[in-house]
Every structure is written in C-alpha cells, then in structure tokens.
Amino acid sequence: MELKIGALGRATDTNVETIRYYERIGLLSKPPRTGGNYRAYGAPDLNRLSFIRRARDLGFSLDQVRALLELSDDKARDCATVDELARDHLAEVERKIADLEALKAALSDLIASCCGGTVADCRILEALAPSTTSPAA
Amino acid sequence: MELKIGALGRATDTNVETIRYYERIGLLSKPPRTGGNYRAYGAPDLNRLSFIRRARDLGFSLDQVRALLELSDDKARDCATVDELARDHLAEVERKIADLEALKAALSDLIASCCGGTVADCRILEALAPSTTSPAA
DNA sequence: TCTTGACCCTGTAGCAGCTACAGGGTGCAT
DNA sequence: ATGCACCCTGTAGCTGCTACAGGGTCAAGA
Ligand SMILES: [Zn+2]
Ligand SMILES: [Zn+2]
Ligand SMILES: [Zn+2]
Ligand SMILES: [Zn+2]
C-alpha cells in the first residue's frame, strides 16, 4: 500500500502543498522516493497525518500537535502531560471566546445606535472618530 | 503642533514600527519631513490614527478600516454602507464565536473522558488517532 | 568641544500556517 | 508522438504586525 502525495492528500483531506509544508517543518518525516523521485507514503504516514489533521481541527497549534505526537509515542508514560496540554488549549479557546463576546457586545451597541441618516451624523463613525474633533470654526 | 513619530505613538498607544507599517501600506499618508528627515505629524494624522486604532480594537481588518476611512470622508453619503460593513463584521465575529464554542465543546468532552492512566490508554490521544489503528497482530 | 543618550531613519527578515505560483520532470494512454 | 494528470523544487505571497541591523540627528551635560 503505497500512496503518492496526491492520494495521501485525498485520503486525509489535506492539500498536497500542506503535506510538503509539514515535511519541511519536520512534522512529517521525509518518506522514501520512487524511481521517478515521487514521495511514497505508507500506512504509518497516513495515520500520523490523520492524527495531525484531527488535532488541527480541534484548534491545537502545530507546536502543540508536535508535542502530542511525541507524547503519544511514549506509551508507558502517565497521560497527565497530555491532559495539561489539552486543558491549556481549552483555556485558550475560552479566552478567545470571552474576547470575542466583548467585541460582539461593543459592535452590537454601535450598530444599534445608528439611526440611518448620512455619513455626517453616523453614530458608528462618530464612535470611532476622536472625541470632539470639530474645531469651533 | 508637530509630532514626531514617537510622540504620535505615545498619543495613540501605537508602536512606532506599526505607524511606519501603516504608512508603508498606505493607510496613513506620508507626512512632511523635518530638516533632519524626521516625520512631522499634525492633528489630522493624530485623528486618523486614533480612528484606525479604535476600529482595530473593534476587530475590523485593515481593509475594512481603509473602507471605513474612505466612507467617512464622504459626509453627504447615506450611511448604509457603513452599517453594512459593521454588520458584516459582527456576523464574522459571531461565526468565530460559534466555531470556538463547537471547539470548546469537543475539547471539553475529550478532556472529561480521560481517566488519568497511561498514555497507552489515554482517551484524548485515542480520539485523535485514526480509528482501529492496531493491526490484528 | 566632545560625548553621551534618546530619539529618528531605511531596509530586511521573522512570526503562524498555510497557499500559490513558475518552471521543470514522470508516467500512462491514445 | 503527444497529451494529460500528476509529481518535483524553490520561492514568494497572505495578515498584521514586530524586531532587528546599521546607520543619522539633536539637545544636554562635562
Ligand atoms: Zn445607519
Ligand atoms: Zn450610520
Ligand atoms: Zn488523563
Ligand atoms: Zn489521558
């Protein structure tokens, strides 16, 4: 079961450029080549890339993915480190949500305040403009 | 009232490198220079940069900020375009929140499922690994 | 006067995580 | 022989900054 890069991409729903990129940054190891210098992947590569994709889909950074992959190699180890990584990531996600919720509230207020006139008295732009810009002509 | 780049940066809480960057990409216009080739900013620059900063704080992209600045120049125009821009941005923010909420739920489930054993039977890694990887030895 | 130090200048490269070329080579079918 | 799909390398682009390196300017102090 040998896969060329295109087949691997289709199997994992990954752009071939992304696969080569992962190889370049050392996330995937360099596979053997065919006579025509094509990359020849096997089942372990497929598994590894699937793992990567799933972790990415869960929002883990490439560095976190790298760490997860390393941890998963050490089968006897306590999984506390894995848990911590996941918990940290969850905390990050929660922080981002909170930030975005604040943004959403501010934006909603802004939009609600607009009364539908001309740009000259648009409250949205007013809110963005520096306070009391108008020079007392 | 002439400001050198450092003063403008302090006044708007903006990194000087960022100001030069905004100039480079045409978001701020090239200011006149002093004899010593220093940028000399005036009140309009201060206002414009303040506007930019507020819009950025509300999460608008630089392109969106550019559009808002252009719109705000045309005082007689109907503000519908401004509103639409803001609404689009709000929708974007809401989409991101939804995505992150889904992520959060998935991550929480994952973390909750871990029973605290070894890496070999960690449910977190199991969830990431391709289904039924183990070849029937 | 000389020197120190804070500030300023340009130009370039780096960050994440890809994506998109250009300009070639391979391999199979017609 | 020719077309076409696929593969290769290397490099540059995207967002929105940030961080240098390697210089110049200017005011104050010794
Ligand atoms: Zn309106
Ligand atoms: Zn309005
Ligand atoms: Zn655990
Ligand atoms: Zn576990």
Q: Give A124's pLDDT tier (boundaries 50, 70, 90).
A: very high
Rounded to the nearest whole angstrom, what is the distance from the C-alpha of residue B107 to the centroid of ligand 3? 13
Residue B119 to residue A54, Cβ atoms within 8 A = no
Place of tokens 């306590």: A78
DSSP secondary structure string, A91-132? HHHHHHHHHHHHHHHHHHHHHHH--S-BGGG-HHHHHHSPTT
Could you tell me which residues come within 8 angstroms of residue B95 by beta carbon, excluding any fewer than 6 positions away? Answer: none
Residue A22 CA to residue A65 CA, distance in Å, equals: 11
Which of A41, A79, A126 best probes binding to B when mutated, by most B CB atoms within 10 angstroms?
Answer: A79
Q: Which of A102-106, B89-93, B109-113 shows the lowest mean pLDDT across its residues?
A: B109-113
Q: Is the pLDDT of residue A30 over 90?
A: yes
Which residues have CB less than 5 Å away from ligand 3 (the ion)?
A 79, 83; B 114, 116
Q: Give B132's pLDDT tier (boundaries 50, 70, 90).
A: low
Q: Quote the mean pLDDT of chain A.
A: 92
The answer to whether the beta carbon of residue B116 comes closer than 7 angstroms to any atom of strand D is no
3-state SS class at B78: strand
* Confidence at residue A132, expressed as pLDDT on a 0 to 100 scale: 54
H helices of chain B, where? Answer: 5-12, 16-24, 43-57, 62-73, 80-113, 123-128
Q: Is the pLDDT of residue A21 over 50?
A: yes
Q: Is A116 exposed, middle or buried (0-12, 13-18, 19+ CB in 10 A)?
A: exposed
Q: Is the pLDDT of residue B38 over 50?
A: yes
Q: Give A133's pLDDT tier (boundaries 50, 70, 90).
A: very low
Q: Give B105's pLDDT tier (boundaries 50, 70, 90).
A: very high
* Confidence at residue A136, expressed as pLDDT on a 0 to 100 scale: 45
Most confident of A28-32, A81-85, B71-75, B128-132: A28-32
Q: For B33-37, what is the mean pLDDT?
A: 96
